[in-house]
Amino acid sequence: MVRYVHHEWWAASLVLAGIAGGWAAAVGTGQSPPVRTGAMGVLITFTLGFLVVSALLRASRLKWVGQLPEFEAAALAPDTEVPPHRAAFAPRMTGLLLLSALCVFVIRDTGIVVVLLAVGLDWLGKAVAATGWEHSTGRRLWLAPDPRERWHLSYSPAGTAPSHG
């Protein structure tokens, strides 16, 4: 099982680090930066605004975007037959870092930076929403493998992890 909040933080961090790495590689090799200097203020404003909007929408009950109904529908994690707790970072997640860095380095377009920022900031918004839900309910969200679905949410009381079977 993987802590949901940690998984979302890792995913967001890797995409955002990939953007920074691709940008640094482009500038370091003498190529033009992905965003013009004059557009940096707009990009920073977009980034902050999108993060706030994403966190607010993800922490709402709105259909299709709000995650509170999913969190509240999570089942109690069983004490038996629980797979071992795993780290939130998985080696396959390095693809997020490499793909975003490669896209920014090769394409070097403001549009690709904006799209990747939106993806990373949305994951960050999910992590913020889940952190707030965990804090307010005293529960911890877990991603657990499910034979019927790829993953499903479950929860345990705060301060305890599901026991290992």
Q: Over the stretch 14-66, which tens digit does the pLDDT of each residue have?
A: 999 999 999 999 999 999 889 988 899 999 999 999 999 999 999 999 999 99
**Could you tell me if residue 85 is inside a domain?**
no
Please give the pLDDT value at position 80.
44
Greatest Cα pair distance in the chain: 58
- φ/ψ of residue 102, rounded to 5: -65, -45
Confidence of residue 165 (pLDDT cuts 50, 70, 90): very low
**Could you tell me if residue 147 is inside a domain?**
yes
**Could you tell me if residue 20 is inside a domain?**
yes
Read off the tokens for 17: 């680090």
* Contacts for 6 with CB less than 8 Å, ≥ 6 apart: 87, 88
Q: At what angle do helices 4-28 and 94-107 cross, to 10 degrees?
A: 30
Read off the tokens for 15: 């995409």
**Could you tell me if residue 164 is inside a domain?**
no
Q: What is d(CA 8, CA 31) in angstroms, rounded to the nearest whole number? A: 32
Please give the pLDDT value at position 5.
94
**Could you tell me if residue 48 is inside a domain?**
yes
Q: What is d(CA 66, CA 85) in angstroms, rounded to the nearest whole number? A: 27
Overall domain count for the chain: 1
Please give the pLDDT value at position 163.
56
Cβ atoms of 141 and 76 closer than 8 Å = no
Query: pTM above 0.75?
Result: yes
Please give the pLDDT value at position 137.
94
Confidence of residue 68 (pLDDT cuts 50, 70, 90): very high
Confidence of residue 85 (pLDDT cuts 50, 70, 90): low
What are the tens digits of pLDDT across the range 107-149? 989 999 999 999 999 999 999 999 999 999 999 999 887 777 7
DSSP letters for 56-96 = HHHTS--TTT--HHHHHTPEEPPSSSPPPP--S--GGGHHH
Structural domain range at position 45: 2-78+106-157
The yes-or-no verdict on residue 91 having pLDDT over 90 is: no
**Could you tell me if residue 93 is inside a domain?**
no
